[in-house]
Structure 1
Amino acid sequence: MRKRIVFFMLALLFASVSRGLAQDAGPIKGQGVLDAVVAAQGKVVVVDFFASWCRPCLMEIPDFIEARRHYPPDKVVFIGVSLDQDQGEYFRFVKQTPFNFPVHLADPDVMSTFGVKMIPKTLIYDGKGQQAVNHAGYMPGDMLRQAIDTLLKDIGS
């Protein structure tokens, strides 16, 4: 019986992962983002702050999705944080965009916690959880990959 339960739980986990992480991952506070960075110790963590109405954000999201495909999840973690104020717009955007990483709707404290004054904004943390990149504005895919590659070399990956 216990083996069946474990098997069932693993099957549910696999099914949720195989569907992708494009589904809304729920609201997140600033501390929740910081907790996710700490939990990913030993991995590079990319945090992308965006909004569905932001044109530069819409330009860079496909590059982030492609980078997520390129890097193994045991080496690099991606977290999307939407600063949309209209929940309906947020949900529509997340549903129609093929995100392959968790995307959260930001609680109001997120902007002040991370000093977000403009979007898009990308923060990249090294394997020790230290902020290594703080980039405001559009980040082209090649710049994103170069930053990740540099940090992966630093942690010996």
Structure 2
Amino acid sequence: MKKIILPLLLCLLLPCAALAASSAAPASTSSSVPSLNLAGLMDLLAKNKGKVIMLNFFATWCPPCQVEVPDLVAVSKKYAGKDVLIVSLSVDDDSKVVVPFMKKMNMDYPVYMAGRDITKAFQVSSIPHNVFYAKDGQRVISEPGIADTEMIEMVFKKLLEQK
């Protein structure tokens, strides 16, 4: 009987200990950036069908990305309240370096940590890399390189004019 009680107690208590450990960990704090996998990104795109969407792949250590982000911030402010969504996807290894970068650059639009499945699916081999979706959900542009304010606004204008 004693041989059965100890294993039985362990079986009952281990799930409780695991539950307590998982609930003690903060879900999403201001010191980290939420992660996004390919399924989550596809869901985000589907939920925002009807909007022009720009996905921007970047890293905090990337000098061209550091040049591009202020343009993204400016365009995000200019198109606030319109059917436009800018989403930045960090390819950094650690989300803890992204938070100070976001604050420093005043990134006030959605930013996620990109899962490897996303960068693979979008064939991101260099950064920055930008992807644009029309209102109907079709990917219309996917290319590496810096997108400046003029280029982003030109693409947004043309895509917003489409029905």
Q: Same fold (TM over 0.5)?
A: yes
What is the CA distance between 1:108 and its match in structure 2? 2.0
Query: Structure 1 pair 98/75, CA: closer, same or farther in 2 (3 Å)?
Result: same
Which consecutive segments of 4 or more residues in structure 1 shift more than 4 A?
A: 22-25
Aligned to 1:32: 40
Residue by residue, what CA displacement relative to the aligned partner does 1:75-118 show, whole Å, maximum 9, x if unpaired? 10111100001333223222332111110011221210211111
**What is the CA–CA distance in structure 1 between the aligned matches of 2:108 and 2:98, rounded to whole Å?**
16
Give the letter aligned to residue 104 of structure 2. Answer: Q
Maintained 8 Å contact 1:63/1:140: yes
Taking only the aligned residue pairs, the percentage that are identical comes to 28
Q: TM-score, normalised by structure 2?
A: 0.76
Aligned equivalent of 1:88, options 96, 100, 111: 96
Q: TM-score, normalised by structure 1?
A: 0.79
Query: Structure 1 pair 63/145, CA: closer, same or farther in 2 (3 Å)?
Result: same
Give the letter aligned to residue 89 of structure 1. Answer: V
Q: Secondary structure at the match of 2:35?
A: strand
**What is the CA–CA distance in structure 1 between the aligned matches of 2:152 and 2:131, rounded to whole Å?**
10
Give the letter aligned to residue 99 of structure 1. Answer: M
**What is the CA–CA distance in structure 2 between the aligned matches of 1:146 and 1:105, rounded to whole Å?**
27
What is the CA distance between 1:31 and its match in structure 2? 2.0
**What is the CA–CA distance in structure 1 between the aligned matches of 2:145 and 2:67, rounded to whole Å?**
11
Whether 2:61 is the aligned partner of 1:53: answer: yes
Quote the RMSD (CA, aligned, Å): 1.8
User: How many residues end up aligned between the 2 structures?
Assistant: 134
1:1-157 to 2 correspondences below 5 Å: 25-155=33-163
Maintained 8 Å contact 2:32/2:96: no
**What is the CA–CA distance in structure 2 between the aligned matches of 1:63 and 1:71, rounded to whole Å?**
12
**What is the CA–CA distance in structure 2 between the aligned matches of 1:44 and 1:148, rounded to whole Å?**
7
**What is the CA–CA distance in structure 1 between the aligned matches of 2:50 and 2:81, rounded to whole Å?**
12
Q: Which moved more, 1:75-84 or 1:23-32?
A: 23-32
Give the letter aligned to residue 46 of structure 2. Answer: V
Could you list the runs of 5+ residues in structure 2 that have no partner in the other structure? 1-29
